[in-house]
Structure 1
Amino acid sequence: MEVKLKRIYDDATKDDGVRILVDRVWPRGVSKEKANLDEWMKEIGPSKELRKWFNHEVDKFAIFKKKYEKELQSGAQKANYDQLKQMQKENKTITLLFGAKDETHNQAVVIKEMLEKHT
């Protein structure tokens, strides 16, 4: 059960497994066909308030991570997170897709770490 991360702007490959977009907002400039998605879990994304506060500012990432983990465990995102955990169990590989330019400071990184911690 491998969890991969990939920008949605990168080409799909056969070793991606199940491709899941974990952004609340559809990424600019990507058609639904080009995205080649199996699932769009927009409700798993950070709350609007948290997303706007974080604003992809690296120095806020540690606090963002703590707040977002809390949302995934007890907020409106919990149902989607639980569904994602089930998908992880049922598939050899899942790839979490995101639109952010920063590949190390985004919500997909937080989700991946949580999934790997709880398996």
Structure 2
Amino acid sequence: MSVRVRRVYEPPEPGDGVRVLVDRLWPRGLSKDAARVDEWPKGLTPSTELRRWYHAGEGSYEEFAGRYEAELDAPEAADLLARLRETASEKDVTLLTASKTPETSHAAVLARLLEAGQR
């Protein structure tokens, strides 16, 4: 099965599979009907503190990714990640984010972790 990252503002595509919003906040100006989100595991998103730190430009993407992975070790996040891994092992999954640069966002970190879990 495949895991991909897309902006939530892009129109849904037939190959998206399970559409998972991985942002803590609902995307601005987007209706729930238009987003066609299947799951929204808020406990899998970076903490507000980490998100603000990264968006303030205080650290590199690599440092952000390391801190985010450490947050994913917390019990609630680890459980949600395990469930998402199980889904990704059975179906195509598209991680949705409002980030303007999804390739350097937490969604890319999640995608990498999910893909590593499938091997």
TM-score where L is the length of structure 2: 0.91
Structure 2: runs of 5 or more not aligned = none
Matching of residues 1-119 of structure 1 within 5 Å: 1-55=1-55, 57=57, 60-74=60-74, 76-91=76-91, 93-119=92-118
Residues of 2 paired with 1:89 and 1:17: CA distance?
12
Residues of 2 paired with 1:76 and 1:64: CA distance?
20
Amino acid of the residue matched to residue 106 of structure 2? Answer: Q
Count of equivalent residues = 118
Amino acid of the residue matched to residue 98 of structure 1? Answer: T
1:44-88 Cα shifts (integer Å, max 9, x gaps): 100111111111739521100001011113354212111111111
Q: In 2, are the aligned partners of 1:58 and 1:105 still within 8 Å (CA)?
A: no
Secondary structure at 1:57 match in 2:
coil
* Residues 58 and 105 of structure 1: CA distance in aligned 2, closer, same or farther (over 3 Å): farther
RMSD over aligned Cα, in angstroms? 1.6
Secondary structure at 1:19 match in 2:
strand
Q: Give the stretch that moved more between structures: 80-89 or 50-59.
A: 50-59
Residues of 2 paired with 1:79 and 1:97: CA distance?
19
Residues of 2 paired with 1:95 and 1:83: CA distance?
15
Residues of 1 paired with 2:77 and 2:114: CA distance?
14
